[in-house]
Structure 1
Amino acid sequence: MAGLLGVSACGGDKPAGQATGGGETKAATTEVEVFSWWTGPGEADGLKAMREIFEKQNPNLKFLDAAVAGGSGDKAKALLQTKLQGGEPPDSFQGHAGAELQGYIKAGQLEDLTSLYDELKLKDVFPAQLVEQLSVEGKIYSVPVNIHRSNILWFNPGVLKEAGVAGAPKTIDEFIAALGKVKAKGKVPLSIGSEWTVTHLLENVLLGSLGTDAYNGLFKPGANWGAPEVTKALENFKTIMSFAGDPQDDWQPAAKQVADGQAAFNIMGDWAYGYFHNPPDGGLGKTSKTDFDWAPAPGTEGTYLWLSDSFTLPKGAKNREGALAWLKVAASKEGQDAFNPKKGSIPARKDADASLYTDYLADALKDWSGNKLAGSIQHGVSVSQPWLTAINEQVGLFLGTKDVAALQKGLADAATANAQ
């Protein structure tokens, strides 16, 4: 899980917008373009909360929200590549911590933010393990604003009770049995969204079938994706997918099927909590433990399948000083405590106000400190962007063919071509 987040060198002590030489720079009066994929309920609310802090602290700067819709950022990343290749980078863009940023770093498209880490003493407030995973050859290229958990099973207690399922299934076999019971009652056993949510499901089934060490081993050079235990995991994936309902447009409508009692289960990251829980102007306004509940995805209890959203400083940013001002808010205790409770994530900082993190988020804080760690595939920790693209292509083909052998060969070929 090569770490690839970072903050910019040249933070300095001068306020954002002040010129490096004499006189003033345009940065004091220009827009700061922040590129993300946070457009849905919960995530957009969290971004708005950080934006308000930014604008209060930097009254001469105008925040330009350049968010592109589409869960997990697939559409945003495609547009971002076009902007970067065209020499028109945003001032800062969202990226997942881990291997996802490798391509940008190797292409020389990101500034080293180690000086900003030193200026803000971020190595003292971020967990040492996280800093280590963010570092690439001793440099850091992004600022993490949160920690998310990928391996969460969301479920509707009423639907489970109606189907005679006593509680959240703890193993893959128990999960498959529960899906069958729900199907017999005429409800959707498992809701899914667009194609990326199926890759998200796949990483959870791989972890739940293989265990933490074997799962993490898949991303090391020479890993055997053709092993019998991987075959078994992919057979489990095929069986589970046979209980999936009609694909929804994205993760939110799939999650809503659970909250509304139309579906029993949904495996999604913990950003879904903000969507379930937040008031109706930014979420569904549902009651936890009644309208929805959660547990580790089947077979993954004791492991935190993690990812982290971060922001970068692209080389050639039009408003570099404004971007640095944004990164300082993203890194701050105030910014992270404003953002994460609404987003449905926990802070990357160790000194955040724990009283703000209740209900599901209290569970997440506790588990993050004591669980084993595994890196998400879909969300950029364990695989590079080209590797993820190859995996998503194989998942897309599998949705049409349901051919486990072809899927396994495709995944093995992707690993051979991309593992380093």
Structure 2
Amino acid sequence: MRFPRLLAAAGALTLLVAPACGAEKPDPATKVEVFTWWADGDEKAGLDALVGRFTAGCPGHEFENGAVAGGAGVNAKQVLAARIQRNDPPDTFQVHAGAELDDYIAAGRVQDLTADYAGWGLRQALPPGLVEDLTVNGKIYSVPADIHRANVVWSNPELLAGAGITRPPATLGALMADLAALKRSGVEEPLALGRDWTQLMLLEAVLISDLGAEGFAGLFNGATDWGGSAVTGALEDYAALLAYSNADRDSRDWPDARRLLTDGKAAYLVMGDWAAADGLGHFTFPGNGRVFQWLADSFVLPTGAPNPAGTRCWLRTVASADGQRAFNRAKGSIPARTDVGGEGFSAYQVGAMADWRSGTPVPSCAHGSACTQDWQNAVNAALGVFSTATEKDLAGLQQALAATAARYIRG
């Protein structure tokens, strides 16, 4: 269970959005404006599938698409913050489930959905560990639409074969040995890496291997000391991996890092399952065992939503087995519910669904489920300083991470 820290309200943003032209607006009394960043590709296909279920199951309510494209949600979050600040919330909005929602909860901007969870059977359908991570002071405020897995390693089979590597490494030490073998085979920078949160994803995977699931989760609730010797060892392992990565990592976003893999310039990439591409191998990060590091897109009922009845019908659709099946088949993620069968899903999705049912879930700070946005930004900044420094100051990095945690963990 998480206990949010009360944070100062964010300053008003001046970013304005022009309304779409040429589209007929639904009746304000019946419309449900669904605010997302799902504007293109598989995400838009998933949203369209969910809208089909909503239209069939919620007569009298009309879907209005409030999607804001670009920036993998960065643009949308800025627009949303401005609207909330001026008391103009959409009927519902997309947010990463978990700690990313804490500031909205503390400010009273979203409503309690605990009773709806009971009515919709979600406590039985979702893993207990996920429900615990979503619970803040005994209440639940969001409905997850999907699950993505963060702790996945993607590989280039051709480069691995050239280095004589025939099986995925089972331990962190074995991964280091593989990276050394790849360098000897002529792969100069065998570990593909990008900037900001991509580096945090790598660090989190290492922390899970070295601290275990309980120890890792404790980093975000105060049970595990960021300044302790276990974290020191993990940071040493992280620094060793960083030395095998591309020197231009701080100028690459994650698709550019993946391109190193697909172009045959790197052999391994630590990235969530949205990085899937034809021809790539994949396996759970070495040493993570049965741990499933999750992130989830979810929806909320904002305080002051114009059509709360329509919003609840949308949320019920998102929560349903049929809604999650239709949405995730199209999007490429997996249902948060564990009672959805694998028919119509890809082989990767079926395997991930089995792991989700049987594994140990832990949240991700890099994707807002374990820590707030401000906390994540501070960690990203510390990792960026470490990455760009000629002389790597491990003690300074650990001190920065410990000081950041002390600011955001409520005592």
TM-score by length of 2: 0.84
C-alpha separation between the residues in 2 aligned to 1:91 and 1:110? 11
Aligned partner of 1:17 in structure 2 is none
Deviation at 1:144, TM superposition (A): 0.9
User: Identity, % of aligned pairs?
Assistant: 41
Aligned partner of 2:86 in structure 1 is 86
Contact 1:272 1:344 in 2 (8 A): no
Aligned partner of 2:71 in structure 1 is 70
Contact 1:27 1:321 in 2 (8 A): no
SS state of the match for residue 315, structure 1? Answer: coil
Check if 1:301 corresponds to 2:289.
Answer: yes
Query: What is the letter of the counterpart of residue 265 of structure 1?
Result: Y
Partner deviation per Cα, 1:304-338 (whole Å, 9 max, x = no partner): 11222211111122343443332222112222111
Aligned partner of 2:231 in structure 1 is 230
Aligned partner of 1:189 in structure 2 is 190
Q: 1:406 aligns with which of 392, 396, 400?
A: 396
Matches within 5 A, 1:109-124: 109-124=109-124
Q: 1:372 aligns with which of 318, 337, 360?
A: 360
SS state of the match for residue 233, structure 2? Answer: helix
C-alpha separation between the residues in 2 aligned to 1:27 and 1:3? 36
Partner deviation per Cα, 1:357-378 (whole Å, 9 max, x = no partner): 3422222222222223322121
Query: What is the letter of the counterpart of residue 242 of structure 1?
Result: A
Query: What is the letter of the counterpart of residue 113 of structure 1?
Result: L
Deviation at 1:256, TM superposition (A): 4.0
Aligned partner of 2:9 in structure 1 is none
Partner deviation per Cα, 1:247-287 (whole Å, 9 max, x = no partner): 465333433442443421111112223xx2xxxxxxxxx2x
C-alpha separation between the residues in 1 aligned to 2:76 and 2:280? 30
Q: 2:377 aligns with which of 380, 389, 402?
A: 389
Aligned partner of 2:211 in structure 1 is 210
SS state of the match for residue 84, structure 2? Answer: helix
Matches within 5 A, 1:158-307: 158-184=158-184, 185-186=186-187, 188-221=189-222, 223-245=224-246, 246-247=248-249, 249-273=252-276, 276=277, 286=278, 291-307=279-295
Deviation at 1:165, TM superposition (A): 1.9
Paired positions, count: 383
Query: What is the letter of the counterpart of residue 97 of structure 2?
Result: A
Deviation at 1:418, TM superposition (A): 0.8
Query: What is the letter of the counterpart of residue 419 of structure 1?
Result: I
Query: What is the letter of the counterpart of residue 395 of structure 1?
Result: L
Kindly tell me: are residues 405 and 151 of structure 1, through their superposed partners in 2, closer, same or farther at Cα, counting changes over 3 Å?
Answer: same
C-alpha separation between the residues in 1 aligned to 2:138 and 2:225? 30
C-alpha separation between the residues in 2 aligned to 1:45 and 1:250? 24
Partner deviation per Cα, 1:366-410 (whole Å, 9 max, x = no partner): 222222332212122222333222212212222222432221111
SS state of the match for residue 361, structure 2? Answer: strand
Q: 1:315 aligns with which of 285, 303, 327?
A: 303
C-alpha separation between the residues in 2 aligned to 1:101 and 1:351? 26
Query: What is the letter of the counterpart of residue 384 of structure 2?
Result: G
Aligned partner of 1:37 in structure 2 is 37
Kindly tell me: are residues 74 and 167 of structure 1, through their superposed partners in 2, closer, same or farther at Cα, counting changes over 3 Å?
Answer: farther
Kindly tell me: are residues 342 and 183 of structure 1, through their superposed partners in 2, closer, same or farther at Cα, counting changes over 3 Å?
Answer: farther
Contact 1:70 1:250 in 2 (8 A): no
C-alpha separation between the residues in 2 aligned to 1:111 and 1:251? 34
C-alpha separation between the residues in 1 aligned to 2:91 and 2:110? 11
Query: What is the letter of the counterpart of residue 80 of structure 2?
Result: L
SS state of the match for residue 377, structure 1? Answer: coil
TM-score by length of 1: 0.82
Query: What is the letter of the counterpart of residue 412 of structure 1?
Result: A
Deviation at 1:145, TM superposition (A): 1.1
C-alpha separation between the residues in 2 aligned to 1:240 and 1:70? 28
Contact 1:38 1:69 in 2 (8 A): no
Contact 2:209 2:287 in 1 (8 A): yes
Kindly tell me: are residues 137 and 416 of structure 1, through their superposed partners in 2, closer, same or farther at Cα, counting changes over 3 Å?
Answer: closer
SS state of the match for residue 293, structure 2? Answer: strand
Contact 1:3 1:133 in 2 (8 A): no
Aligned partner of 1:127 in structure 2 is 127
C-alpha separation between the residues in 2 aligned to 1:174 and 1:54? 48
Deviation at 1:187, TM superposition (A): 5.8
Contact 2:195 2:384 in 1 (8 A): no
C-alpha separation between the residues in 2 aligned to 1:44 and 1:36? 10
Aligned partner of 1:104 in structure 2 is 104
C-alpha separation between the residues in 2 aligned to 1:412 and 1:258? 33
Deviation at 1:196, TM superposition (A): 1.6
C-alpha separation between the residues in 1 aligned to 2:243 and 2:37? 30
SS state of the match for residue 219, structure 1? Answer: coil
Contact 1:271 1:343 in 2 (8 A): no
Unaligned runs of 5+ in 1: 5-24, 277-285
C-alpha separation between the residues in 2 aligned to 1:307 and 1:44? 19
Quote the RMSD (CA, aligned, Å): 2.7
